[in-house]
Chains A and B, each alone.
Chain A
Amino acid sequence: MSTLTTVTSSTVRSTVRSTRAEMMRLRAWPAVWITLGAWLALSLMFGYLFTYLSYTTGDASFTDEGTTQAEQLAQLLPTAVPDVFLQGMPMFGGALMMVLGALVAGNGYGWGTWKTVFSQGVRRGCAVLGAVAALTTFVVATLLVTLVFDLGISLLITVSEGQPVELPSAGSLVEALGAGFLVLEMWALLGFALGTLARGPALSVGLGLVWALVVENLLRGVGQLLSWVDALTEVLPGTAAGSLIGSIVGAGGNGDGTPGVLDTIPGTRAAITVAVYVGAAVALSVVLVRRRDVT
């Protein structure tokens, strides 16, 4: 028993050390800040800018087609922040996180940094878990920064439009953070697993993007004709992520038809499917790194 405790505590210590190391290098990596900046820019554009321009000019944009001015204003106020915060995650947010995850793992092979770490005696499993933990920290930070950013923008609009300030409920914020975390974490870790599988950044980023942005959509189209394909699409990561967000914000029910937001499967099932992908991605990455040769 004491041997087991010693081994466990040694593993935990090694993993914590590797997490600190990975966080140190991620903080200084321009790719991380570019990803965050791109995500915030997309959130601003598709969450607020187009809707605000449509609201102020009276011209309908593709994001607000069929909505009244009052509905547009409602989407811009703080009470709508949880929905706006989540809408872009299944597609844009997920794609960006997957690219980052693939780069974190894949570049370790391309630059030879995994080789350097492993040849100094650092345990492979601990190093991978450390990288996963650092990536997870970045996902959490991205969610918090985005939430604060969205609240700030919506409050600015509220004040500038002379509307009463009414904040979203704590429950809806927690729900949005939880769902957002599951979706972004899943895509980031699937990207990480792809980067590990491909042992390089280029192939994993390319394959991941094609899958997330093209293949799943095509399969959903084919699924309308073939029932077995339809059944298959229900367990795909994009469907699960889109359905989880759709179960909270509504999938096209308010006429916005946000890309990637779906109502294919119920929210609970979607959340479980996403969680399974998170676990599977971590397990796959650890197994691959531990078992394969580092060349």
Chain B
Amino acid sequence: MNAQDTVASTENLTKVYGDRVAVDKVTMTVRRGEVYGFLGPNGAGKTTTLRMLLGLIRPTSGSAYATSPVGALIEGPGFFPYLSGRANLRTLARHRGFADAEVERVLERVDLAGRGDDRFKGYSLGMKQRLGVAAALMGDPELIVLDEPTNGLDPAGMADMRALVVDLARGGQTVLLSSHLLAEVQEICHRVGVIDDGRLLRESTVAELRGGVSIRVRATPEDAALAVALRLAGDEGVRRTDDGGMQLTLPPDAAPRVTRELVAAGVDVHEITAAERSLEEVFFEMTSGHEKELSS
């Protein structure tokens, strides 16, 4: 990766409020064209980090860089309640020197064109959220920062938003997506950064974070089954599970061979499945010491 591939980054970024460290030496990198998931429980420091990245608040120490132009939706949409959605976007377009046609384009993109003339204060939470995303899309910025964009959306709206993010990435735009909805991040993000208590715990691809795939086996007699498993996956590749079974670090397509070897060794196979740890499981493992709950 070279510097040209980086569209946003922070280095030892720190924000202190009084004696509380909200963000603690966070170093992260967002690469061109990827969907980067910024994960963390409520109050972990996600929004504060993003605000510093966008220059809304000053870091106590460290540095933050974001390419320009950037579009952003940070901590909920902020618009004039007495103006329509369309007029709000037109006001924003005036500030940035865009033509009204750009407003129509982004309204269509978030499926709000039909309700564009309704006043913002009459919008549902989901519509407000979509208007905020529309504002972030204006001018086709290279980097789009979306802070909890699916807040307030119904399941269909959430699916639409996921499709939109994927579509943006396919179009070459980079999306920095902050969320506490882990299934959503697992589904659409290329890389993730996990933050808790202001510290970046891990930054990697989703696959790396989930630790790859494995095969779960339940067979008897257990000793004979273990001997076969050790022969196939090695000492490091076998983990005993609480239910008397084993987890083998092998690809799912190795399952037929594992079954054949077990049967040939006179072992009864009760269950054999490809097992993947979900991002949610990994996330809870990483943040389990902090006794925090994710909002649903």
Contact = CB atoms under 8 A, between A and B. Distances in A.
B92 interface: yes
Contacts of A153: none
A12 to B, nearest CB: 13
B107 to A, nearest CB: 16
A121 B70 contact: yes
B57 interface: yes
A160 interface: no
A295 B57 contact: yes
Contacts of A293: 51, 56-58
Contact of B138 (A18, A30, A120): A120
A13 B94 CA distance: 11
Given A17-B94, A120-B72, A294-B57, 12 more contacts: A18-B95, A24-B87, A25-B80, A111-B79, A111-B81, A116-B132, A119-B54, A119-B56, A120-B70, A121-B68, A293-B51, A293-B56
Given A21-B92, A28-B87, A294-B57, A120 B71 contact: yes
A17 B56 contact: no
A20 B90 CA distance: 11
6 contacts: A21-B92, A24-B90, A117-B92, A119-B74, A121-B69, A295-B56
B135 A120 contact: yes
Interface of B: 51, 54-58, 68-83, 87, 90-97, 132, 135-136, 138, 145
A62 interface: no
Nearest to A21: B94
Contact of A116 (B77, B83, B145): B77
A116 B73 CA distance: 7
B96 A28 contact: no
Interface residues on A, range: 20 to 34
Contacts of B71: 120
A29 B77 CA distance: 19
Given A116-B135, A121-B69, A121-B70, A21 B80 contact: no
A113 B94 contact: no
A113 B80 contact: yes
Contacts of A13: 97
